[in-house]
Amino acid sequence: MMIRQLKTDEFEASTSLGEYAFQYTLTPEEKEERKSRFKPEQTWGIFDGADLQAKLTILPLRTYLHGKAFDMGGIAGVATWPENRRQGHVSRLLKHALNEMKNAGQTVSFLHPFSIPFYRKFGWELYAEYKKYVIPVHKFPPKTESPGRIVRDAADLPALDSVYRSFASGYNGTLLRTEEWWKQSVLDDDGHNVIYYSADGEPQGYALYQLKDKELTCDEFVFLNEEARSALWTFFANHDSRIEQVSLKMVPVDDELPFLLPDPRVSQETVPYFMARIVDLKSLLEEYPFMRDVEVGITLKVQDAAAPWNDGVWRLSVNIDGRGEAELLETKEGAEADLTLDIQALSAILTGYKRVQTLHKAGRIQGETQKAAELDSVVPVRQTLLMDFF
């Protein structure tokens, strides 16, 4: 068995495996379109001779953590033929991918799990969830008059991206979207968009949505202020002769819309979504924007079986400017440290998904309460979110 990158002429083999594993069939037109975008160097496979046994793709992406952009490896398209399952192929590919991402300078990695327990075994942990609302027309927010203007189906990608960047940089774990990503992974040929421009012409909010079967389904509802939010909801309300309800997806967990509704008893659901893991702990700790005006020196015993370069006892020093220094002290299993935790728990902490003291109380971190409080004091607080899929 050999692990290597795919070649250009292996598009058909890769596509066949993907179609079988994920239960879809591409039309000839869709297949040609995908072939034109095929980047074989991003996909790694396990081969038995010339036969592709299993594969995964590493997407070179970037993500925000506390307003700072980090290189991120997006794991996608993990697939194995059924006759090749339970032979360790995916395990080998994931460990190989961690090496590749580290060498590429990707300090963190995200993936959408088919099984959360499965990927936890390899160091990934939940980091993002989202809310879903279903709001009937008679429970919409009140209509308002706005000083700006609404433009439907505008061919204004710079405006969409401007609003998105301002919004997304306020969360942890959102993607920095390129023009290519917008066109290929976000905007839907069958969907609609609407942008709200303020009185001085600045884009302040947008929504991406579809209309079908008396329902308006909104995939992204993004606003920078209450004026934009109210204007977009008034636009939705003006569809009241065509729709019975609005279904909102990918809503941030910290969204306060239900409280602002005249009647907040609407359908609400919180959905666990993507997982994250630290790829290169030393690089992440030394690039991470810790809290300023707090100095901390603490030792962490980190357990990471899939990425042994992270495994061991680390001394983390954070200076008054919020800069961290990380030194690997000891890799022996019996070494002492102030706090002991696995890479999953540390990934949840540094993405902002969970607080140190929360995990300490739950038994996911071992050590003195005071040391947990010290580490907690230097990790900024910011909500996680991801509105994309890969």
**239-256: pLDDT as tens digits:** 999 999 999 999 999 999
**Residues near 327 by beta carbon (within 8 Å), at least 6 away in sequence:** 314, 315, 317
pTM (two decimals): 0.94
Q: What is the pLDDT of residue 336?
A: 86
What mean pLDDT, rounded, does the chain reach? Answer: 96
Mean pLDDT of 42-49: 96
Q: What is the pLDDT of residue 334?
A: 61
pLDDT above 90: residue 111: yes
Q: What is the pLDDT of residues 205-227, one digit of tens each?
A: 999 999 999 999 999 999 999 99
Q: What is the pLDDT of residues 181-210, one digit of tens each?
A: 999 999 988 899 999 999 999 999 999 999
pLDDT above 90: residue 381: yes
Q: Give the span between the Cα atoms of 268 and 129, in whole angstroms.
A: 13
Q: Where are the domains of the chain?
A: 2-106, 131-272, 280-378
What CATH number belongs to 2-106? 3.40.630.30
Q: What is the pLDDT of residues 313-355, one digit of tens each?
A: 999 999 999 999 999 997 656 668 999 999 999 999 999 999 9
Percent of the chain topping pLDDT 90: 96
- Contact criterion met (CB below 8 Å) for 132 and 248: yes
Q: What burial letters (b/e) apply to 198-224, b meaning 16+ CB within 10 Å?
A: beeeebbbbbbbeeeeebbbbbbbbbb
Same fold, 2-106 and 280-378: no
Q: What is the pLDDT of residue 155?
A: 87
- Tracing tokens 């290169």 back to the chain, one arrives at 280
- Tracing tokens 């666990």 back to the chain, one arrives at 272
- Tracing tokens 């993990």 back to the chain, one arrives at 78
Architecture of domain 280-378: 2-Layer Sandwich (3.30)
pLDDT above 90: residue 47: yes
In 41-190, DSSP assigns E strands to 43-48, 51-65, 68-80, 108-111, 125-126, 129-136, 149-152
CATH topology of domain 131-272: Aminopeptidase (3.40.630)
